[in-house]
Structure 1
Amino acid sequence: MPSTKRCLTESAANKAIGGVPTLHYFDFQSRGRGQVIRLLWEDAGIAYDDIRYSFEEYPEYKKSRVSEMNPTANIPVIELNGRILTQSYAILRHFARQLGRYDGSTEEEKYWADAMCDIVIDWRTLFVDAFFSDNQKEIYPKHCQTTRARYLQALETHLKSHDLSTSGPYIIGKNITYADMVLYQILHDENLTQDGRKGIKDYPRLVQLVDAVESRPNIKAFLQSDRYLG
């Protein structure tokens, strides 16, 4: 059976989004596209119900419960006040707008956050293909040496050269956006934020962003809690 857990206590942020959301996602430690939704909720102080499916039991629920909620039968899926929300990055943008945070305040800030997010989406697609390849032992190391290195260098260059990104630790400078969490999450999932940032030691601007995200009080508390699963 899937595990269900209530995380955090209801706050003003819950009122802003209209209640306590329920997240349906894999029991994949603190990783994946669904995890970045948890990260935003944790930072905003949003109470949520966390339903996790093991990879073994998911096919059964995919045919029934999940396919009833989402015609593509993909997760994450959010339930909130009778509404069903799908597509992880659309979900992030939706909650950012509801909260009036995490989305930039000018059109240029919104564009730059979206653009950086889209780069990470491309990277994540290739990461997942390599990591879950039938020949992972051969394919994933090649991914790390080529594709991953290319995206790390591209993101580092963007962060060092764009006027917004040079004005503070985050993508648009001093204020965090959903895109910072998306970028943080792929770095985490590629095991680059761990071990003293060893995997990104040659990318100081990315290190600065990771440090800034992990230093946020609510995220720091989350990473030290039993809700964080590695």
Structure 2
Amino acid sequence: MPTTKRCLTESDANRAIGGVPTIHYFDFQSRGRGQVLRLLWEDAGIAYEDIRYSFQEYPEYKKTRIAGMNPTGHIPVVELNRRILTQSYAILRHFARQLGKYDGETEEGKYWADAMCDIGIDWRTLFVNAFFSPQKDKTYPEHCETVRPRFLQGLETHLKTHDLSKTGPYVLGKSVTYADFVIYQVLHDEGLTQDRRKGMKDYPRLIQLVDAVESRPNVKTFLQSDRYLG
């Protein structure tokens, strides 16, 4: 059976988005597209219901419970006020707009957050394809040798050279955005935020972003809590 857990206490941020969201996602530790939503909610202080499905039980729920909410059968799916929200990055942008932050204050800032998020999406797609391939023993090492360095270097260069990114640790300098959580999470899922950032030693600007995300008070509390599963 899926597990359900209530996380955090309702706050003004819940009122801003219209209630307490329920997320349906895999029981995949603290990883994946669903985890990016949790990170945003934790940072914003949004109470939420966390429903997790094991990989073994999900195929059955995909055909029944999930298919009833999302005809593609994909998760995460979020329920809020009798509405069904799908597509994790669209959901992130939706909540950022509702909260009035996390996506930039100017059109240039919004564009740059979206662009950097899309790089993270491209990277994650290739990572998932390699990591969950039936030939993982071959495809994932190849990914780590070729794809991963390309995205690390691309993100590092963007963060070092873009006028907005140069002003602080985040994608938009001193202001955190949903894109920072997207980039952080793919780095986390690739195993690069752990082990004293050893896998990121050649990318100091990305280390700066990771350190800044993990130092945010609510994120730091989350990472030290039993809600964070590794």
> TM-score, normalised to structure 2's length?
1.00
> In 1, Cα distance between the equivalents of 2:107 and 2:215?
27
Residue aligned with 1:149, SS: helix
Q: What letter corresponds to residue 39 of structure 1 in structure 2?
A: L
- What is the aligned partner in structure 2 of residue 75 from structure 1? 75
> In 2, Cα distance between the equivalents of 1:96 and 1:197?
28
Deviations 1:20-61 (A, max 9, x none): 000000000000001000000000000000000000000000
Residue aligned with 1:28, SS: coil
Aligned-residue sequence identity (percent) comes to 79
Residue 161 of structure 1: how far off its partner (Å): 0.4
Q: What letter corresponds to residue 176 of structure 1 in structure 2?
A: V
Paired positions, count: 230
- What is the aligned partner in structure 1 of residue 212 from structure 2? 212
- What is the aligned partner in structure 2 of residue 40 from structure 1? 40
- What is the aligned partner in structure 2 of residue 156 from structure 1? 156
What is the correspondence of 1:181-192 to structure 2 with a 5 Å cutoff?
Answer: 181-192=181-192
> In 2, Cα distance between the equivalents of 1:13 and 1:155?
30
Residue 138 of structure 1: how far off its partner (Å): 1.3
> In 2, Cα distance between the equivalents of 1:117 and 1:15?
26
Q: What letter corresponds to residue 121 of structure 1 in structure 2?
A: I
> In 1, Cα distance between the equivalents of 2:23 and 2:215?
25
Residue 170 of structure 1: how far off its partner (Å): 0.2
Residue 163 of structure 1: how far off its partner (Å): 0.3
Query: Superposition RMSD on alpha carbons, in Å?
Result: 0.4
> In 2, Cα distance between the equivalents of 1:4 and 1:198?
35
Structure 1, unmatched stretches of 5+, are none
Residue aligned with 1:153, SS: helix
Q: What letter corresponds to residue 61 of structure 1 in structure 2?
A: Y
2:101 matches 1:101: yes
Residue 137 of structure 1: how far off its partner (Å): 1.1
2:180 matches 1:172: no
Q: What letter corresponds to residue 33 of structure 1 in structure 2?
A: R
Residue aligned with 1:213, SS: helix
Structure 2, unmatched stretches of 5+, are none
> In 1, Cα distance between the equivalents of 2:156 and 2:99?
29
Residue aligned with 1:46, SS: coil
> TM-score, normalised to structure 1's length?
1.00
> In 2, Cα distance between the equivalents of 1:23 and 1:101?
21
Residue 139 of structure 1: how far off its partner (Å): 1.0
> In 1, Cα distance between the equivalents of 2:199 and 2:31?
17
Q: What letter corresponds to residue 138 of structure 1 in structure 2?
A: K
2:201 matches 1:201: yes
Residue 135 of structure 1: how far off its partner (Å): 1.0
Residue aligned with 2:73, SS: coil
> In 2, Cα distance between the equivalents of 1:109 and 1:95?
17
Deviations 1:130-171 (A, max 9, x none): 000111111101100100000000000000000000000000
Q: What letter corresponds to residue 152 of structure 2 in structure 1?
A: L
- What is the aligned partner in structure 1 of residue 58 from structure 2? 58
Residue 107 of structure 1: how far off its partner (Å): 0.3
